[in-house]
């Protein structure tokens, strides 16, 4: 007799409390944390849900073999081990638990800051070595000190509230937060240089991006007070490790507390290991019983609710639950997300307003807006952005959102229009889907184009004079950067020309600067989509 019971596969360890959630819903559990890919290919054909942590990689082969699979649940934040495009194509929802570890990370930040300020770790080490070194371990109070918080997402705000309770003054830097979000009694928003110079403690809570890579290098660290301390519970690489080691050794700053590293686990000869005033923990920001149990219970509840009741309360890849409609509009949703990604890179500071209009698509316009916001915020904020939380996260940052349908006749059977206001400057994009699934940007910043929004692109505005293409091509060629396509705008205004160059690889910043230095070049912007 065929077993019609709902089956959920679990291939990484989760808490008993999470497993109980599934058992209490009369869901059959297939628990196998040792299966290799070959075994999994045989197992997945009959499962309805799949729960993993970081130890299981779900690729396209496994997804294609999972004929009944409805949902993949990641107990935790990172989903790099899941082929989300393949899952989306198959109509499989991917969920995670991005907010469960917020308090744990914030508390760890406070914990290592206190330990650093009061020499707790060093004191323990010296006592264990038989040394009563009280007079050389005089600490500093947090009260009346200034803490600079770089990144004011959920974790940054939790840190802020705890620092206020210590009687600290809080200053913050987050270029994607509107000025009116916080009261002056909570936090004073400022630029990064001012924060660096004025803070007694600095803690970073930003994602690891090109813009945040080595954000605190030796040059920036030298801007800090000699008594200041630097804390990182976010991502390795935001603080340059060699520069930090040198700065603490030479007394440029008083100390640091680091939970995350460029390479984990660290090597025995890591530069931090021989420095007393650098406190290290082995990536413990989310390592609490509460967080670990929380992610297990939360993901099991999400998977249960979707499989049994079609309740979609969290999803990384699907804005609507109707699979039939989804298949029809998926290319347009992807286009909207790509446009958001581009607009995020074009933004000049805090985003004030977003407008999305669609033409020739379905009556329900909101999924396209959500898809756009998801792309827009994805690399701008530390939180994982999905279709469920995108609108909330945008409004939380003071972004005004307008969206609707455009019923006017136009040149395209379908069109997505976006306008983003940042730094009081408007940036406009228009896109369309050709022949069912071919994504195109048809207008960029007021210039008519026909561009597939994929890969490494350069947006170049220049004086409309002869010789510019040759200069640009020669410079890129000399630096061994291959041009895949050089696409000129069909329109020109005010004696300016606009081009999009498709490249085989990302262009290093020094070469971008060489392009900017060409006399006829007005602006250069690298876009990675």
CA neighbor of 82 nearest in space, from 297, 316, 377, 382: 316
The Cα–Cα gap between 83 and 86 comes to 5
List, by residue number, the catalytic residues: 235, 264, 283
* CA-closest candidate to residue 346, choices 505, 239, 500: 500
Q: What is the token pair recorded at 374?
A: 């998801």
The phi and psi torsions of 371 (rounded to 5 degrees) equal -65, -40
Residue with tokens 């630029």, as numbered in its chain: 191
Which among 348, 340, 346, 350 has a CA at the least distance from the CA of 397? 350
Burial of 343 (0-12, 13-18, 19+ CB in 10 A): buried
Given a contact cutoff of 8 angstroms between Cβ atoms, the answer to whether 337 and 375 are in contact is yes
Six-digit token pair at 276?
A: 């007393």
CA distance 243 to 122: 22
SS3 string, 336-397, reads HHHHHHHHHHHCCCCEEEEEEEEECCCCCCHHHHHHHHHHHHHCCCCCCCCCCCHHHHHHHC
């Amino acid at each position: 007799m065929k077993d019609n019971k709902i089956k959920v596969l679990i291939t990484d360890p989760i808490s008993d409390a999470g497993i109980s959630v599934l058992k209490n819903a009369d869901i059959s559990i297939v628990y196998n944390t040792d299966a290799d890919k070959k075994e999994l290919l045989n197992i997945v054909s009959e499962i309805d849900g799949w729960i993993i942590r970081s130890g299981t990689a779900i690729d396209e082969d496994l997804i294609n073999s999972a004929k009944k699979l409805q949902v993949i649940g990641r107990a935790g934040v990172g989903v790099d081990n899941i082929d989300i495009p393949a899952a989306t194509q198959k109509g499989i929802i991917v969920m995670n638990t991005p907010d469960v570890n917020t308090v744990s990370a914030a508390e760890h930040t406070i914990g290592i800051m206190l330990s650093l300020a009061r020499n707790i770790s060093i004191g323990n080490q010296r006592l264990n070595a038989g040394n009563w070194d009280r007079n050389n371990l005089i600490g500093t109070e947090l009260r009346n000190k200034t803490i600079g918080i770089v990144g004011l997402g959920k974790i940054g705000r939790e840190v802020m509230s705890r620092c206020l309770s210590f009687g600290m003054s809080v200053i913050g830097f987050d270029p994607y937060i509107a000025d009116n979000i916080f009261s002056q009694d909570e936090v004073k928003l400022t630029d990064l240089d001012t924060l660096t110079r004025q803070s007694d403690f600095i803690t970073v809570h930003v994602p690891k991006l090109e813009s945040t890579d080595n954000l605190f290098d030796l040059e920036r660290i030298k801007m800090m007070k000699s008594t200041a301390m630097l804390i990182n519970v976010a991502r390795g690489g935001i603080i340059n490790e060699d520069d930090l080691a040198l700065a603490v050794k030479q007394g440029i700053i008083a100390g640091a507390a680091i939970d995350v590293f460029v390479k984990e686990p660290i090597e025995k000869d890591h530069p931090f290991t021989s420095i007393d005033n650098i406190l290290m923990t082995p990536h413990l920001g989310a390592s609490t019983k509460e967080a670990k149990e929380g992610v297990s219970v939360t993901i099991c509840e999400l998977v249960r609710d979707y499989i049994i009741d079609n309740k979609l309360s969290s999803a990384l890849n699907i804005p609507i639950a109707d699979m039939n409609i989804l298949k029809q509009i998926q290319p347009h949703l992807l286009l909207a997300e790509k446009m958001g990604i581009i607009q995020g890179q074009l933004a000049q500071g805090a985003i004030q307003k977003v407008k999305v209009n669609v033409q020739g698509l379905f009556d329900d316009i909101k999924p396209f807006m959500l898809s756009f916001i998801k792309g827009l915020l994805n690399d701008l904020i530390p939180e994982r952005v999905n279709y469920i939380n995108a609108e909330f996260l945008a409004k939380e940052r003071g972004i005004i959102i307008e969206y609707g349908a455009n019923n006017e006749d136009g040149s395209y059977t379908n069109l997505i229009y976006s306008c983003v206001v940042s730094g009081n400057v408007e940036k406009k994009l228009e896109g369309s889907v050709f022949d069912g699934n071919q994504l195109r940007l048809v207008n960029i910043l007021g210039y008519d184009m026909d561009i597939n929004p994929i890969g490494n692109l350069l947006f170049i505005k220049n004086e409309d004079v002869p010789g510019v293409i040759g200069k640009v091509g020669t410079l890129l060629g000399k630096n061994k950067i291959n041009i895949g396509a050089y696409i000129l705008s069909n329109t020109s205004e005010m004696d300016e020309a606009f081009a999009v160059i498709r490249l085989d690889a990302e262009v290093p910043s020094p070469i971008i600067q060489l392009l900017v230095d060409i006399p006829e070049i007005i602006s250069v912007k690298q876009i990675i989509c």
